[in-house]
Amino acid sequence: MRIADARVIVTCPGRNFVTLKITTDDGLTGIGDATLNGRELAVASYLSDHVVPLLLGRDAQRIEDTWQYLYRGAYWRRGPVTMTAIAAVDTALWDIKGKQAGLPVHQLLGGRSRDAVTVYGHANGEDVDNVLTEVGRYLGLGYRAVRVQCGIPGIETTYGVGKDRFFYEPADAALPSESVWSSERYLDHMPTVFRRVRDEFGPVPKLLHDVHHRLTPIEAARLGASLEPFALTWMEDPVPAELQEGFRLIRRHTTTPIAVGEVFNTIWDCDLLIREQLIDYVRATVVHAGGITHLRRIFDLAALHHVRSGSHGATDLSPVCMAAALQLDISIPNFGLQEYMHHTDETDAVFPHTYRFEDGYLHPGDEPGLGVEIDEELAAEYPYAPAYLPTNRLEDGTVHSW
Ligand code: CS2
Ligand code: MG
Q: How far is CA 314 from the centre of its chain?
A: 5
Q: How far is the CA of 287 from the centre of ligand 1 (A)?
A: 13
Q: What is the pTM of this model?
A: 0.97
Burial 168-181 (b: 16+ CB within 10 A, else e): bbbbeeeeeeeebb
Using the atom order of ligand 1, give the atom closest to the CA of residue 283. 5
Helix (H) or strand (E) holding 4: strand 3-11
Residue 254 φ then ψ, to 5°: -150, 150
Using the atom order of ligand 1, give the atom closest to the CA of residue 315. 11
Euclidean distance between CA atoms 303 and 274, whole angstroms? 9
Distances (CA, A) of 135 to 143, 284, 293, 315: 9, 25, 35, 19
Euclidean distance between CA atoms 185 and 150, whole angstroms? 12
Ligand with the closest atom to the CA of 168: 1
Whether 120 sits among the annotated catalytic residues: the reply is no
Euclidean distance between CA atoms 7 and 19, whole angstroms? 8
- Whether residue 141 contacts residue 119, with contact meaning beta carbons closer than 8 Å, is answered with no
Catalytic position from the list 122, 189, 209, 212: 212
DSSP, res 10: E
Ligand 1 pocket: which of 283, 316, 388, 401 to mutate (most atoms <8 Å of CB)?
316
Using the atom order of ligand 1, give the atom closest to the CA of residue 38. 13
In the chain, the amino acid numbered 113 is: S
Ligand with the closest atom to the CA of 313: 1
- The residue whose C-alpha atom lies closest to atom 7 belonging to ligand 1 is 314
Catalytic position from the list 71, 159, 168, 340: 159
Q: How far is the CA of 32 from the centre of ligand 1 (A)?
A: 20
Using the atom order of ligand 1, give the atom closest to the CA of residue 341. 3
- Whether residue 12 contacts residue 384, with contact meaning beta carbons closer than 8 Å, is answered with yes
- Whether residue 19 contacts residue 374, with contact meaning beta carbons closer than 8 Å, is answered with yes
- The residue whose C-alpha atom lies closest to atom 11 belonging to ligand 1 is 314
- Whether residue 154 contacts residue 188, with contact meaning beta carbons closer than 8 Å, is answered with no
Ligand 1 pocket: which of 157, 159, 285, 312 to mutate (most atoms <8 Å of CB)?
312
Euclidean distance between CA atoms 393 and 402, whole angstroms? 10
- The residue whose C-alpha atom lies closest to atom 13 belonging to ligand 1 is 37
Euclidean distance between CA atoms 273 and 290, whole angstroms? 19
Q: Is 75 left (phi over 0), alpha (psi -120 to 50) or beta?
A: left
Polymer length of the chain: 402
Ligand with the closest atom to the CA of 16: 1
Whether 212 sits among the annotated catalytic residues: the reply is yes
Cα three-residue angle 135-141-144, rounded to 5 degrees: 65
User: What does the pLDDT profile of the chain (402 residues) look like in tens digits?
Assistant: 999 999 999 999 999 999 999 999 999 999 999 999 999 999 999 999 999 999 999 999 999 999 999 999 999 999 999 999 999 999 999 999 999 999 999 999 999 999 999 999 999 999 999 999 999 999 999 999 999 999 999 888 887 776 666 677 788 888 998 889 999 999 999 999 999 999 999 999 999 999 999 999 999 999 999 999 999 999 999 999 999 999 999 999 999 999 999 999 999 999 999 999 999 999 999 999 999 999 999 999 999 999 999 999 999 999 999 999 999 999 999 999 999 999 999 999 999 999 999 999 999 999 999 999 999 999 999 999 999 999 999 999 999 976
Euclidean distance between CA atoms 106 and 32, whole angstroms? 16
Using the atom order of ligand 1, give the atom closest to the CA of residue 317. 11
- Whether residue 400 contacts residue 181, with contact meaning beta carbons closer than 8 Å, is answered with yes
| Ligand 1 neighbours (beta carbon < 6 A) | 37, 170, 210, 212, 262, 312, 314, 316, 339, 389
Q: Which residues surround ligand 2, an ion (CB under 5 A)?
A: 210, 262
